[in-house]
Homo-oligomer: A and B are copies of this chain.
Amino acid sequence: MTEPTQDSFPVTPTNKIRVAKRANYDRDTLFAILDEGLIAQVGFVLDDKPIVLPMAYGRIDDQIYIHGAKAARMLKKLKEGLPVCLNVTLVDGLVLGRAAFHHTMNFRSANIHGTARLVEDEKEKYDALVAITDHLAPGRWDETRETTKKEINATTVIAVTIEQAASKIRGGMPIDDEEDYDLDFWAGVVPISTSFGPAIDDARLKAGIPVADSIRKLTSRR
């Protein structure tokens, strides 16, 4: 394995990406993908079988936080010490070659291996809940009514410390066989974009309340 640096994750047999030109082990690249994504697919092993579930999440440094109702079956299984693999993938486009063989997608994918840890410290749990809420729209937590102790107690928060990680990224045009470029088939890219809004007021919203600042920023930005 390569030695990690302050700015990058070590390359190990577990996280090494076969196609070197698609691989990126920088912390900042990984964190940017995690911060842009909305859903993480969280995988763990239960009775020797794989479970993959989509979850909202938040990030503070190299800790990923997921949460759920205390009653949720899955969170009960994600107990202390369980190995977890977590994937966040942003799809940027369809890549259409002259040959079916050279069709692919443009994407940015963050893949993480870590260990689940039940968050019991009160301050860490509170900060994690803020991070998960603000992940939807930065600043949103402060625009809502104060969270109660009862709500916090009813919520289980699990931290996954990033132990091994890699980003895999593809961009640009198809790469066809050299002799195919002269063929009469169309080839190119279809960009895929994700857009937010416009915001829809809750049907029971009190009269005269404007759309919250965090939401206005989100829907005007992307």
Contact = CB atoms under 8 A, between A and B. Distances in A.
Contacts of A154: 101
A20 interface: no
A131 to B, nearest CB: 11
Nearest to A136: B94
A56 B104 contact: yes
A210 B190 CA distance: 14
A89 B54 contact: yes
A185 B209 contact: yes
Contacts of A84: 50
Contacts of A32: none
Nearest to A219: B190
A18 interface: yes
Main secondary structure of the interface of A (DSSP, over half): mixed
Interface residues of A, number: 94
A96 B137 contact: yes
Contacts of A182: 206
- Of A39, A104, A181, the most chain B CB neighbours within 10 A belong to A39
A130 to B, nearest CB: 8
B52 A103 contact: no
A71 interface: yes
Contacts of A118: none
Interface of A: 14, 18, 38-39, 41-45, 48-54, 56, 69, 71-73, 83-87, 89, 91, 94, 96-101, 103-105, 107, 109, 111, 113, 129-130, 133, 136-137, 140-141, 143-145, 147-148, 151, 154-155, 173-174, 176, 180-206, 209-212, 215, 218-219
